[in-house]
Amino acid sequence: MRQTINLRLALIALIAIIASTAGTTAVFYRIFKQQVSADLKINAEMLKDTGIFQNLYAAAGGKKEAVDINALQGLEHEKVRITWIDGTGEVLYDNDASGLQNHLDRPEIRSALERGAGESVRNSDTMNMNTYYYAVRLDNGTILRLSTQAYTISRIFLEAAPIVLLILGLTLAACILIGHLLSASIMEPVKRMAEQFEEQEDGSVTGGQTLTYYKELEPFVEKIRIQHENILAAAKSRQDFTANVSHELKTPLTAISGYAELLENHLADPGQEEHIARQIRSNAERLLALINDIIRLSELDHKELPRQYVPVDLSEVTELCCDNLRVYADQKKVNLEYRGDPVTVTADRDLLRELAENIIRNAVQYNREGGFVKVYAGTENGRPILRVTDDGIGIAKDQQERIFERFYRVDKSRSRASGGTGLGLAIVKHIAQLHEAEIRVESEPGKGTEISVIF
Ligand SMILES: Nc1ncnc2c1ncn2[C@@H]1O[C@H](COP(=O)(O)OP(=O)(O)OP(=O)(O)O)[C@@H](O)[C@H]1O
Ligand SMILES: [Mg+2]
């Protein structure tokens, strides 16, 4: 980042210097050109006013050969060329011997003949020099032309190049230095923020510290902090999950292996084979259930999995679940009642069935003989709702949030004895999130539980 700031500053300086040099050169060159032309004009008018040329011409009787050009010697000037031309373009006098040919085709001469005065600028033979001309018609019809040479814009630029380069170098160096200091001062708080983040991670800084030094960075820092916490939480939950999975898998596997060993070594009492076989089968079933639940959860974790969200009648799905669970409820001697009003939700039918089944099964499972489970699917306050009420064992207040955690069971031995893995409600929570549904729990130990899913 610092490098980028430095580089950009240097680039800005470079562009600024080049642009301002080019701009000022162009402006000054215009003024300079105007000044050269104005000087030539003044000098030509002054020479005209002296009357020297008019007198000489009159003395020669208007004849070219008779003009006494020696009388003009005093006018010679190394910077200004003076050319005197008659009305036909023939040169009467020129202090520069190189241009004695007819001058009638020159634009400044033509406009002097037509309008009394004329000027033009031409590229001179000399490299990077311009020649400025100013011609004025005298009363006797002859023309006096003054010309001088001046630098072209590129020449001026070249002349100024060493100074411009020097300024450029100095400014660039200053910019790099300023950029360096500036980026250091900009980055310092950000660096300190990063350090504090690390310290907080180490636990060496206790909470409640403000990490922001720039107000503008506050939302950004907050976002990073939340993301950071989420990442840590996710890592922790993954760790817990792995530990739990290993533990949960180990228990039935140890049992299976133990029973198999008894059989292998003929240590089982005669007549116990059947019991051992049943134990092996129930533990194997438990393992299967566990693995199925883990697979379900990991499937649900992949939200990009194609799902079919279609209009589904919640009451129809729920009624079907109740029908399926009736045998189980009869076994547990729990009275399962269903009531429903048709209501449509946009959902994945299979997931919805899984959600309802898990909640209703729990209500039957964590119940008592002769207890009841009342299931209602319909509308409440204008929103589709699935409500499962039981008068079972209930859940203590402090456990009500935790039952949605993976592998969390209020009473481990009871749940395990009835084949529970502690993943059912975690799956329910996941499905509810996918459908943007809200879950509410109301429960009192010994009295019963009511779980509602509001879509
Ligand atoms: N209706 C209920 N009444 C009392 N306790 C409940 C009820 N529903 C859930 N619980 C408690 O919440 C815990 C978690 O339930 P969850 O459905 O996630 O797991 P599980 O039933 O133990 O196993 P499974 O994965 O087979 O469903 C249960 O072990 C139980 O202690
Ligand atoms: Mg359950």
Q: Output the domain CATH number for residue 100.
A: 3.30.450.20
179 lines ligand 1 (CB under 6 A): no
Q: Indicate whether 186 belongs to any domain.
A: no
Among all bound ligands, the one having the nearest atom to the CA of 408 is: 1
- Can you tell me the distance from the alpha carbon of 190 to that of 22, in angstroms, rounded to the nearest whole number? 39
366 lines ligand 1 (CB under 6 A): yes
395 lines ligand 1 (CB under 6 A): yes
Stated as kind and residue range, the H or E segment containing 134 is strand 129-137
The token pair that represents 363 in the structure block:
């209500």
- Nearest residue (by CA) to ligand 1, atom 27, is 424
Residue 151: closest CA among 167, 127, 173, 118: 127
Q: How far is the CA of 368 from the centre of ligand 1 (A)?
A: 14
Q: How far is the CA of 391 from the centre of ligand 2 (A)?
A: 16
- Can you tell me the distance from the alpha carbon of 366 to that of 447, in angstroms, rounded to the nearest whole number? 12
Q: How far is the CA of 422 from the centre of ligand 1 (A)?
A: 6
47 and 143 in a single domain? The answer is yes
14 and 148 in a single domain? The answer is yes
78 and 136 in a single domain? The answer is yes
- Calculate the dihedral angle through the C-alpha atoms of 422, 428, 430, 431, rounding to the nearest 10 degrees: 150
Q: Indicate whether 184 belongs to any domain.
A: no
142 and 241 in a single domain? The answer is no
pLDDT score recorded for residue 212: 54
Domain total of the chain? 3
Q: Indicate whether 169 belongs to any domain.
A: no
Domain boundary among 301, 331, 354: 301
Specify the DSSP class assigned to residue 419: T
329 and 294 in a single domain? The answer is no
Q: Report helix, strand or coil for 96.
A: coil
- Can you tell me the distance from the alpha carbon of 109 to that of 311, in angstroms, rounded to the nearest whole number? 95
403 lines ligand 1 (CB under 6 A): yes
Domain boundary among 246, 270, 301: 301
pLDDT score recorded for residue 278: 92
257 and 343 in a single domain? The answer is no
The separation between CA 66 and the C-alpha centre of its own chain, rounded to angstroms, equals: 87
Instruction: Name the residue of 357, 361, 362 whose CB sits within 8 Å of the most ligand 1 atoms, as the mutation to test its pocket.
Output: 362
Among all bound ligands, the one having the nearest atom to the CA of 292 is: 1
87 and 223 in a single domain? The answer is no
- Can you tell me the distance from the alpha carbon of 245 to that of 102, in angstroms, rounded to the nearest whole number? 110
pLDDT score recorded for residue 419: 66
377 and 353 in a single domain? The answer is yes
Q: How far is the CA of 320 from the centre of ligand 1 (A)?
A: 21
Q: Indicate whether 367 belongs to any domain.
A: yes
147 and 265 in a single domain? The answer is no
371 lines ligand 1 (CB under 6 A): no
pLDDT score recorded for residue 151: 84
CATH number, domain with residue 397: 3.30.565.10
CATH number, domain with residue 278: 1.10.287.130
pLDDT score recorded for residue 206: 45
407 lines ligand 1 (CB under 6 A): no
392 and 323 in a single domain? The answer is yes
Q: Which atom of ligand 1 is nearest to the CA of 394?
A: 4
The segments of the chain whose pLDDT lies below 70 read: 1-2, 97-99, 125-126, 197-213, 303-307, 413-419
Residue 452: closest CA among 429, 367, 444, 442: 442
Q: How far is the CA of 400 from the centre of ligand 2 (A)?
A: 14
Q: Indicate whether 180 belongs to any domain.
A: no
Q: Indicate whether 196 belongs to any domain.
A: no
Other CB atoms within 10 Å distance of the CB of residue 248: 21
Domain boundary among 254, 279, 301: 301
Q: Indicate whether 187 belongs to any domain.
A: no
- Can you tell me the distance from the alpha carbon of 143 to that of 53, in angstroms, rounded to the nearest whole number? 9
E-assigned strand segments in 178-303: none
pLDDT score recorded for residue 416: 63
The separation between CA 365 and the C-alpha centre of its own chain, rounded to angstroms, equals: 52
- The whole domain housing 60 covers 2-156
Q: Report helix, strand or coil for 231.
A: helix
16 and 142 in a single domain? The answer is yes
Q: Indicate whether 164 belongs to any domain.
A: no
The token pair that represents 24 in the structure block:
């000022």
401 lines ligand 1 (CB under 6 A): no
231 and 119 in a single domain? The answer is no
